């Protein structure tokens, strides 16, 4: 009995090993894919596939979500090339990934080094390797119209829309990550200037009548532009931090740097040293105190000070609460006075009625009563 169980265990182990090898298989040098048989390479989990998918009257090559009837394409190779016929082979050679059809070879992916194999990650990233198994090319560096989880859109890169859900050729819009950190949409084949830009949500033109004037946020952070009434700058002397400045200003006075940060809704802190004001965003990291350090960290914090006669920077929230309290006291006072007047009026009426009743009683007594 034990030998039978051992045999079954080894058999199932061998079967699962073979299936796993097929599921994790790469495209090696000389291997090929065809549109009708062995048409795609699965990622290890089977979530994504790389290979041929139907488009128009033929086939296109790309990465798509596998296991569903409608292939959701997330990356396309040579997206503007016409669909290919069913009698082509997609294979790897030293130059990269190529198509062979009727004795002709067309490069699909050009490798910067000699390629030896390819694979598809569970992230949807299709990669080419050299003989040392170093990645020499990856689809994540060449996005088309979709950004996948863990994929980054580097500065200077862009996504270009597809024509439709079934035609993944180049569309009419592009979403570009600019070097200034703004993610801006432009029509295809237009210069990267404000008149052609579609600002992302949360922004609006500075001057609605002049789109060349640029854009600004159409909302403000809490207390950001309310004359700084509820925020203040806390200075931390002789400290050094990781410097990830998003803006550097040349200012001769530290107070000017404080005001510049207070007036900037994006500024959480600023480092001032040698006439330079370096604006920072949270988190501030790797802070250390050094007596020899001349840098001052100017950190924006919530104001908790109590207002004095000379303090005109009362927080707007406290003023609002004070106004509400004053209105409440006024309402209570009016209510008490009104209640007193009503009570007095009722008492007067009752007293008058009692006097009339008493007078009638006296008038009704016999005259012989003395």
Half-sphere exposure of 186 (CA within 13 A, CB side): 18
What gap in Å lies between CA 137 and CA 63, rounded to an integer? 15
Mean residue pLDDT of the chain comes to 76
- pLDDT tens string 263-272: 888 888 899 9
Beta bridge partners of 271: 278, 297
The whole-model pTM stands at: 0.49
Residue 313 pLDDT: 42
Residue 208 pLDDT: 65
- pLDDT tens string 196-227: 565 555 556 666 665 445 555 454 555 455 55
What gap in Å lies between CA 126 and CA 120, rounded to an integer? 4
Residue 226 pLDDT: 53
Backbone angles phi, psi at 3, to 5 degrees: -65, -35
Percent of the chain with pLDDT over 90: 27
Distances (CA, A) of 163 to 78, 79, 170: 14, 11, 6
Q: In terms of pLDDT, which residue wins out, 18 or 113?
A: 113
The helix/strand/coil state of 260 is helix
Residue 343, number of CB atoms within 10 A of its CB = 10
Question: Domains in the chain and their CATH numbers?
Answer: 17-140 (2.90.10.10), 153-219 (no CATH), 231-302 (3.50.4)
Torsion of CA 44, 47, 51, 55, to 10 degrees: 180
The helix/strand/coil state of 60 is strand
Query: Residue 370 pLDDT more than 70?
Result: no
Query: Residue 19 pLDDT more than 70?
Result: no
Query: Residue 295 pLDDT more than 90?
Result: no
Query: Residue 66 pLDDT more than 80?
Result: yes
Query: Residue 28 pLDDT more than 70?
Result: yes
Instruction: Report the alpha-carbon angle 201-207-210, nearest 5.
Output: 105
What gap in Å lies between CA 369 and CA 260, rounded to an integer? 99
What gap in Å lies between CA 165 and CA 76, rounded to an integer? 13
What gap in Å lies between CA 6 and CA 111, rounded to an integer? 48
Answer yes or no: are the C-beta atoms of 127 and 137 closer than 8 Å.
yes
Residue 312, number of CB atoms within 10 A of its CB = 9
Distances (CA, A) of 78 to 37, 61, 308: 21, 8, 70
- Taken as a whole, the chain contains a residue count of 370
Query: For residue 223, what are its two tokens?
Result: 């207390």
Alpha helices in 176-315 (DSSP H): 254-262
| Distance linking the first and last C-alpha atoms of the chain | 133
Residue 93, number of CB atoms within 10 A of its CB = 16
Query: Residue 148 pLDDT more than 80?
Result: yes
Q: In terms of pLDDT, which residue wins out, 262 or 240?
A: 262
* List of residues 6+ apart from 227 with CB closer than 8 A: 313
Backbone angles phi, psi at 259, to 5 degrees: -65, -35
The verdict on whether omega for the bond into residue 63 sits within 30 degrees of 0, i.e. cis, is no
**Could you say which DSSP state residue 258 is in?**
H
Answer yes or no: are the C-beta atoms of 113 and 137 closer than 8 Å.
no
Q: What is the CA radius of gyration of the chain?
A: 39
């Amino acid at each position: 009995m034990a030998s039978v169980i051992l045999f079954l265990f080894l058999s199932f182990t061998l079967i699962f090993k073979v299936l796993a090898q097929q599921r994790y298989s790469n495209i090696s040098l000389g291997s090929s894919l065809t549109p009708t048989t062995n048409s795609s390479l699965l990622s290890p989990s089977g979530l994504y596939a790389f290979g041929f998918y139907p488009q128009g009257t033929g086939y296109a090559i790309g990465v798509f979500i596998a296991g569903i009837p409608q292939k959701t394409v997330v990356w396309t190779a040579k997206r503007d090339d016409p669909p290919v016929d069913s009698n082509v082979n997609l294979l790897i050679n030293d130059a990269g990934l190529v198509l062979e059809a009727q004795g002709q070879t067309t490069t699909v992916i050009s490798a910067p080094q000699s390629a030896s194999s390819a694979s598809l990650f569970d992230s949807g990233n299709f990669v080419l390797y050299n003989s040392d198994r170093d990645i020499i090319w990856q689809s994540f560096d060449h996005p088309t119209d979709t950004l996948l989880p863990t994929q980054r859109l580097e500065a200077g890169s862009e996504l270009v829309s597809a024509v439709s859900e079934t035609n993944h050729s180049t569309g009419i819009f592009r979403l570009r990550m600019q070097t200034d950190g703004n993610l801006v949409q432009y029509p295809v084949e237009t210069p990267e200037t404000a008149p052609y830009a579609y600002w992302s949500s949360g922004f609006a033109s500075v001057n609605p009548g002049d789109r060349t004037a640029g854009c600004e946020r159409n909302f403000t952070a809490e207390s950001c532009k309310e004359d700084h009434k509820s925020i203040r700058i806390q200075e931390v002397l002789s400290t050094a931090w990781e410097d990830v400045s998003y803006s550097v200003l040349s200012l001769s006075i530290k107070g000017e740097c404080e005001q510049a940060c207070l007036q900037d809704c994006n500024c959480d802190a600023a480092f001032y040293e040698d006439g330079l004001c370096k604006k920072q965003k949270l988190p501030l990291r790797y802070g250390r105190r050094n007596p020899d350090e001349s840098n001052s960290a100017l950190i924006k914090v919530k104001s908790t000070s109590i207002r004095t006669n000379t303090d005109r920077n009362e927080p707007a929230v406290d003023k609002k609460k004070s106004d509400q309290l004053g209105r409440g006291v006024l309402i209570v006072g009016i209510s008490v006075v009104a209640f007193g007047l009503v009570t007095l009026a009722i008492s007067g009426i009752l007293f008058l009625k009692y006097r009339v009743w008493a007078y009638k009683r006296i008038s009704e007594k016999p005259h012989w009563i003395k």
